[in-house]
Chain A
């Protein structure tokens, strides 16, 4: 059974990545704690002496505030770590100070994908006129905000800049909520697909044979159908769109290749964050299998928000009389109320034990597929994780702040 208390192996694996990795990609289904985990990992890497940046996507407002990210900005901001150690009151039993090493820095930024897309276009547009035309295009406007996977693509694009920029030792990449984690891996291909040479050629007005001649070309039945379905004016917009943006094709392709190269690097690590929900576990496992396409694997499965160790046996073990005596001592007056108070506590505990068992069953079935050593559990804490103290507490479950005692 995988305990919350660290098995040395998986804790060491995380430790190792924090010490030596160059990129950690936190992927997983929506709402499971990717952003929170990315921030917690970043904090610990910085404490271990590394210049770390966490590229967050849509952090919860309270977390963003505690990271100093009040407003959406596409630029890294440095976070004051001393304050974190001081303001923390939840961690009396852990000495955070002993962990801190010189030279570490924690930076965070929040992705603005529209801005990133605009920057990309600014960077590659051949001239001012192409820029103007682009901005006015109907399809461009829809694309920059709504293209499926645009956020993922822009996250990777930003990653490319941070990674190759040279300042940071470690980039921790948070990823956007997707329908399923797999979408992330398809990302580098997707934007490039839309700008696929074959598609562009197909729409691009050819000097010799313009679009119209192609449409009426008896061979081009398909294009005729596309026009019939989408309407002539839309197809005209498309033609113009591809005409305006064909320069992006090469840029996207080059960057896509570079990004894939980064993702394949041995110093790049994939942490899959998931909850104990069986659907999400399956997704996580499926993702792990697909990583083989990059000759990678999921280094660690972080099962977050696990119902902790409520066990059904505890109820049987309970000495009812002793508990009743304590309740009476604490001021519950008559015998009827004492029993009812106890019953409430027992009933609720037993229900949560049922939930806990549900989680644990799901976790063991994942463990049989990927091995205990690849799994870390983080419990559902009693409060939101929205300041550096909370992050530190959560990170203690990832890799303990105290040095591990040698196992006996």
Chain B
């Protein structure tokens, strides 16, 4: 399932807060690194997710090697801002002086898009980095985009900036380069992570259109994450429903029992709870399927389903996901896939 991404040197991962962007980014990075590609993961979060997921400590902008092929860095730091500023002012000392200036500081913090521009400028710097023999240093750079705001707004900032500066000045030039990079589907991929729920699915559909319209390029992949699986095959549904009705008849309060931790856990209700719990799970799986079908219906990009995982730590979930991405099916899953 990695095929659509193998030729992309730059992979932007986007999605709403909490849908699993960081976990998916880390999982994709693990899978690419296992295929022998030198992979860099960039995040932009004050509270780093990658440090937990990869179990390391970030010293700042300088990438840390998690293993031979996997590197990570956090762009949400003052260092990132200084590094960008440094390219436009004569010396690092002056760059730091600008940052220290109270008014300049307030201005840069409040001004629109400063953050986006600095992040994207550093992404570009890593993209262009070469080794001693002049070969590109990283085979893949994955960017875990911030959740707030809209992905298209974020990715379109270079274009907007270029326009705002009327094409003049160093930022305008830099913005042009980054904008061209983002618009180029041969080097760059955009991956949207979503949950199989109403809003995230609709937003992903809208996102695909907007990427097409605003950036003039397609969305490359949608990853539907945390998909609830049904406990039984669809053929066994009628029998299960009969069973469920019977349990509800014999234990009319089983549903509330199920939501109540203080209720006596009597052995006599164990079967009822088993059935009620599975009925709830079927409800979740059905609801997910409904929104997945909508996604399959409306989206032309490949869709990858990632099931909800039962591992207890984020790092373990990343490992599982890495395996899934490495070995999972290449093409879009069929909309009837429903495995126990």
Q: Which residues of A contact B (CB under 8 A)?
A: 1-5, 29-32, 60-62, 93, 138-139, 142-143, 145-148, 177-180, 183, 190, 193-194, 196, 198-199, 202, 221-222, 225-226, 228-234, 237, 275, 277, 279-280, 283, 308-311, 313-315, 317-319, 322-323, 326-327, 330-332, 341, 344-349, 351-352, 354-355, 358, 379-380, 382-384, 386, 397
- Report which of B102, B107, B258 forms a contact with A308, defined as CB distance below 8 A: B258
Contact call B271/A5, Cβ cutoff below 8 A: no
Contact with A along B115-149 (1 / 0, CB 8 A): 10000000000000000000000000000001111
Choice from B85, B112, B232 contacting A341 with Cβ under 8 Å: B232
Residues of B within 8 A of A193 (CB): 106, 109-110
* Also in contact, A142 and B109, with CB within 8 A (given A230-B169, A279-B49): no
CA of A226 to CA of B147, assembled, Å: 29
The answer on a CB contact under 8 Å between B239 and A332 is: yes
Cβ contact within 8 Å between B259 and A319: no
Q: Judge whether B65 is part of the interface by a CB distance below 8 angstroms.
A: no
Complex CA gap A117/B18 in Å reads 29
Complex partner residue of A382 from B111, B163, B283, B310, CB under 8 angstroms: B283
Some 25 contacts from A to B, beta carbons below 8 A apart, are: A31-B199, A32-B18, A61-B199, A142-B113, A142-B160, A147-B112, A179-B45, A231-B172, A232-B168, A233-B166, A308-B280, A309-B261, A314-B274, A317-B265, A322-B271, A331-B239, A341-B232, A345-B275, A348-B231, A349-B274, A349-B277, A382-B279, A384-B198, A386-B198, A397-B259
CA distance A147 to B149 in the complex (A): 9
Interface contacts beyond A4-B260, A62-B198, A148-B112: sample of 9 additional A-B pairs, CB < 8 Å, sorted by A: A31-B19, A60-B199, A142-B164, A147-B112, A222-B98, A229-B170, A234-B166, A309-B259, A314-B270
Which of chain B's residues have a CB closer than 8 A to the CB of A178? 17, 148
Asked if A345 and B103 make an inter-chain contact with CB atoms under 8 angstroms apart, the answer reads no
The residue in chain B whose Cβ has the minimal distance to the Cβ of A327 is: B243
Q: Please, which residues of chain A bring their CB within 8 A of the CB of B47?
A: 180, 279, 283
Give the chain A neighbours of B308 by CB distance below 8 A: 355
B197 and A384 form a contact (CB under 8 A): yes
Q: How far is the CA of A143 from the CA of B113 in the complex (A)?
A: 10
- Counting chain B residues whose Cβ lies within 8 A of the other chain, the interface size class is 35 or more
A382 to B232, CA, bound (A): 16
Chain B 187-210 near chain A by CB (<8 Å), digits 1 or 0? 000000001011110100000000
Contact between A179 and B147, CB atoms less than 8 A apart? yes
Task: Tell whether A29 pairs with B18 under 8 Å between CB atoms, given A4-B260, A5-B263, A222-B98.
Answer: yes
Contact (Cβ within 8 A) B232 A319 = no
A177: B residues at CB distance < 8 A: 16-17, 147-148
Q: Which residues of B in the span 216-256 have a Cβ within 8 Å of any Cβ on A? A: 229, 231-232, 236, 239, 242-243, 246, 256
Query: Which residue of B has the minimal Cβ distance to A5?
Result: B260
- B273 CB → nearest A CB, Å: 5
CA of A346 to CA of B165 in the docked complex: distance in angstroms?
63
> Is B261 touching A3 in the complex (CB atoms < 8 A)?
yes
Q: Which residues does chain A contribute within 8 Å of B113, judged by CB atoms?
A: 142, 146
B231 engages A319 (CB within 8 Å) = no
Cβ distance A357 to chain B, nearest Cβ, rounded Å: 8
- In the complex, are the beta carbons of A31 and B18 less than 8 A apart? yes
CA separation between A190 and B115, bound complex, in Å? 15
Contact A30 B147 (CB under 8 A): yes
- Flag if A196 contacts B267 (CB, 8 Å): no
Q: Which residues of A contact B97 (CB under 8 A)?
A: 222
Q: Is the CB of A319 within 8 A of B271?
A: yes
Q: Which residue of A lies closest to B283 (CB)?
A: A382
Q: Is B94 an interface residue (CB 8 A)?
A: yes
Are B110 and A4 within 8 A (Cβ)?
Answer: no
Question: Which residues from chain A contact B197 at a C-beta distance below 8 Å?
Answer: 384
Are B283 and A237 in contact, CB atoms less than 8 angstroms apart?
no
CA distance A327 to B274 in the complex (A): 13
- Interface pair B274/A345, CB less than 8 Å apart: yes
List of B residues within 8 angstroms of A384 by Cβ: 197-198, 287
B78 vs chain A, min Cβ distance (A): 16
Chain A contacts of B164 at CB under 8 A? Answer: 138-139, 142, 234, 237
Which single residue of chain B is at the shortest CB-CB distance from A358? B312
Q: Closest chain B residue to A346 by CB distance?
A: B274
For the complex formed, measure the closest distance between the CB of A366 and the CB atoms of chain B, giving whole angstroms. 15
- Chain B residues positioned under 8 Å from A179 (CB to CB): 17, 45, 146-148
- Indicate if the CB atoms of A228 and B89 lie closer than 8 Å: yes
Chain A residues contacting B312 (CB-CB under 8 Å) are 354, 358
Complex-state Cα separation, A331 to B111, whole angstroms: 68
Rounded to whole angstroms, the CA-CA distance of A3 and B287 in the bound complex is: 26
C-alpha gap A2/B18 in the complex (Å): 24
Whether the Cβ atoms of A146 and B106 lie closer than 8 Å is no
B243 touches A330 (CB 8 A): yes
Q: Report yes or no: B243 in contact with A308, Cβ–Cβ below 8 A.
A: no
**Residue numbers in A under 8 Å from B169 (CB-CB):** 228-234
A314 touches B106 (CB 8 A): no
Q: Which chain A residues border B270 with CB–CB below 8 Å?
A: 314, 317-319
What residue of chain B has the Cβ atom nearest to residue A195's Cβ? B110
Interface residue B324 (Cβ < 8 Å from any Cβ of A): no
| Shortest beta-carbon distance from A37 to chain B in Å | 15
CB <8 Å contact, A382 and B199: no
- Please tell me which one of the listed residues B146, B256, B273, B280 contacts residue A314 in the complex, with CB atoms under 8 A apart: B273
A330 touches B171 (CB 8 A): no
Chain B, residue nearest A278 (CB): B314
Kindly provide the distance from the CB of B150 to the nearest chain A CB, expressed in whole angstroms: 9
**CB–CB A148/B103 < 8 A:** no
Instruction: Enumerate chain A residues within 8 angstroms of B149, measured Cβ to Cβ.
Output: 146, 148
- In the assembled complex, the CB of A69 is this many whole angstroms from the nearest CB of chain B, namely 14
CA distance A5 to B256 in the complex (A): 9
Q: Are B101 and A382 in contact (CB under 8 A)?
A: no
Cα–Cα distance between A190 and B110 once the two chains are bound (Å): 7
Across-interface contacts of B299 in A (CB, < 8 A): none
Q: How far is the CA of A198 from the CA of B198 in the complex (A)?
A: 45
Question: Does B265 lie within 8 Å of A314, measured CB to CB?
Answer: yes
Residues in A whose Cβ lies below 8 Å from that of B296:
none
B262 contacts the other chain (Cβ, under 8 Å)?
yes
Closest to A355 in B: B310
Instruction: Tell whether, in the assembled complex, residue A352 and residue B281 are in contact, meaning their CB atoms are under 8 Å apart.
Output: yes
**In the complex, A199 Cα to B109 Cα: how many Å?**
12
A330-B246 contact in complex given A146-B153, A194-B110, A222-B103, C-beta closer than 8 Å: yes
Given that A148-B115, A196-B106, A225-B89 are contacting pairs, would A344 and B274 also be in contact in the complex, using a CB cutoff of 8 Å?
no
Closest 9 CB pairs of A and B: A231-B169, A30-B17, A382-B283, A348-B231, A3-B261, A194-B110, A317-B270, A179-B148, A4-B259
